[in-house]
Amino acid sequence: MRAAITLVSLPRPALIDLGVAMPHDPVPALLSRATELLEAEFAVLPAFESAADLGAMERVLTDTAHRLGDNYPYFHPLYAGQMLKPPHPVARAAYALAMKVNPNNHSRDGGRVSSEMEIEAVDEIARMFGWAESAGSYLGHLTSNGTIANLEALWVAGQLTPGKRIVGSEQAHFTHHRISAVLRLEFTSVAADGSGRMSLETLETELGRGDVGTVVVTLGTTAIGAVDRLDEVLKLRDRYGFRVHVDAAYGGYFKLIAEQLDEGARRAFAATVEADSLVIDPHKHGLQPYGCGCVLFRDPAVGRLYKHDSPYTYFTSKELHLGEISLECSRAGAAAVALWATQQLLPLTPGGEFARGLATGRAAALDLYQRLRADGGGETLAAGAPELDIVVWRLKASDSEQASELAQKIFAACAARDLHLALVQLPLFWFEAGKTAQDGPVKCLRSVLMKPEHAAWMDRIWERYSAAYDEVVGGA
Ligand SMILES: Cc1ncc(COP(=O)(O)O)c(C=O)c1O
């Protein structure tokens, strides 16, 4: 793997010149000043020396930096593959600063102020969905990731609707199936329609059987960013009675720019206020380092299901300890500190800077979609433009096998030009009239355009893609 940065002091094998350096990193300077301030906070304590060996640490870090160069350049606009977005510098700085204290948000005993920061940060997320009208009007906390956040939501759902099934789209993240197995809950997949959304017709057939306890609704599917019709599912809830769990791990922040989305997605995001539980991942679109998911419950009374005694903690404060409403015990308080700091800098407000960043990434996706449509070598979804910021396309070929082979080859030819895309298997009928779900999948190219910088880089992305395409198709 070739990296974009040259660490002058380190001998390295040949590096490719991407035409830009890694942007100047403000974190060391930010951190240096903030570290002094944090140290001053504890100045009343008697000083003590750390036994750490500086020289040895420097040597280890030299090796570490070298090894980390063997990575895809996730931070760079030419990385346009999987769902990977660089954390904001303020998040990295706040996380690293918090490491001086290394709080554990299991309890206030382990993370006093970071627990408060978590409560405040989660409250801002809840407000984004219209959930925090008054104090105590919902329950929520951060988790290690979207999987654990969804696990908690289904764990609660299973206890509130014992013996009933969980139902979700076949395009819901695979984690729901696995989590349900872990929780020993029966999970049924519902077919997706040609837009990648859960088929409401098939869902209603399942509901008619009378044993569905919870429906998982995905706002922003992992494969293509499709937005299930939450508003329509809620109408079915009125008729059949079930819990609605919204997995907005990927798409949740698009609530801030819902007005710019198509009518269906707009209505779905407007309906989030009525969900029973909701998951959003700050470590996806929320500019956070990994280790930051979030689960919200509309009814704060579900807190009773978490009730347990701890002989070790919960002594330092009568306030709620987050471990009392979380399945995980130890959790990184630093994740809460980083999220809180990021939201101070970039509040979750429609029209704000954070929202504009999302809109710019989406504009890049629409730009790529239009170029693909005009070009003719690839075929976009028959359903039309991407709902969020994920673009997928099938290569034109005489059959699916050849199209899949072309996708694989172009993927590699792009990577050789330092343009990193992703691959995804999608049903053929999403592209071709007359095909059905039985006609099997085709391997496609996929680009998740999460970075605002993607918009300004689209000419260069397209140039590299076109060169890779010409090389593969010209030589096919
Ligand atoms: C819609 C959705 N739900 C859940 C998950 C799982 O989240 P995590 O990888 O943070 O565990 C993902 C991950 O991509 C996702 O896209």
Share of the chain above pLDDT 70, in %: 95
Report the Cα 407 to chain-centroid distance in Å.
25
Answer whether 227's CB lies under 8 Å from 386's CB. Answer: no
User: Region 363-370: what's the mean pLDDT?
Assistant: 98
208, two tokens: 């008619």
- Residue 394, SS3? strand
Question: What is the CB-side half-sphere exposure of residue 34 using CA atoms within 13 A?
Answer: 18
Residue type, 39: E
Res 134: pLDDT: 81
How many angstroms separate the CA atoms of 122 and 132, rounded?
10
Q: How far is the CA of 68 from the centre of ligand 1 (A)?
A: 24
Q: What is the pLDDT of residues 57-75, one digit of tens each?
A: 999 999 999 999 999 999 9
207, two tokens: 């509901």
Q: How far is the CA of 278 from the centre of ligand 1 (A)?
A: 13
Q: Which atom of ligand 1 is nearest to the CA of 290?
A: 10
213, two tokens: 């306890």
Which residue do the tokens 């009374």 mark? 301
Q: If you take atom 7 of ligand 1, which residue's CA is the nearest one?
A: 146
Number of H helices, E strands in the chain: 14, 11
All CATH 3.40.640.10 domain ranges in the chain, comma separated: 112-345
Res 476: pLDDT: 63
Residue type, 110: G
Burial class (CB in 10 A: 0-12, 13-18, 19+), 143: buried
Q: Is the CB of 222 under 6 A from ligand 1?
A: yes
Q: What is the pLDDT of residues 378-435, one digit of tens each?
A: 999 999 999 999 999 999 999 999 999 999 999 999 999 999 999 999 999 999 988 8
Res 1: pLDDT: 34
Higher confidence at residue 436 or residue 78?
A: 78
Burial class (CB in 10 A: 0-12, 13-18, 19+), 45: exposed
Class of domain 353-474: alpha beta
Alpha helices in 129-229 (DSSP H): 146-160, 175-182, 200-207
Q: What is the pLDDT of residues 202-230, one digit of tens each?
A: 999 999 999 999 999 999 999 999 999 99
Sign of CA dihedral 157, 167, 227, 392: positive
Res 9: pLDDT: 37
Pocket residue to mutate for ligand 1, from 217, 250, 328, 446, most atoms within 8 A of Cβ: 250
Rounded CA Rg of the chain:
24
Q: What is the pTM of this model?
A: 0.94
Class of domain 112-345: alpha beta
Pocket residue to mutate for ligand 1, from 145, 147, 253, most atoms within 8 A of Cβ: 147
Res 103: pLDDT: 98
For residue 11, pLDDT over 50 is answered with: no
Residue type, 8: V
Dihedral of CA atoms 172, 367, 410, 13 in degrees, nearest 10, equals -100
Pocket residue to mutate for ligand 1, from 279, 281, 290, 446, most atoms within 8 A of Cβ: 281
34, two tokens: 């903030």
Q: Is the CB of 175 under 6 A from ligand 1?
A: yes
Q: What is the pLDDT of residues 239-257, one digit of tens each?
A: 999 999 999 999 999 999 9
Res 21: pLDDT: 58
Q: What is the pLDDT of residues 98-127, one digit of tens each?
A: 999 999 999 999 999 999 999 999 999 999
Which residue do the tokens 């999608």 mark? 426
All CATH 3.90.1150.170 domain ranges in the chain, comma separated: 353-474
Which residue do the tokens 């999302």 mark? 358
Answer whether 229's CB lies under 8 Å from 200's CB. Answer: yes
Answer whether 451's CB lies under 8 Å from 77's CB. Answer: yes
170, two tokens: 């076949």
DSSP 212-260: EEEEEEEBS-TTT--B--HHHHHHHHHHH--EEEEE-TTTGGGGGGGGG
How many angstroms separate the CA atoms of 375 and 372, rounded?
5
Q: What is the mean pLDDT of the chain?
A: 94
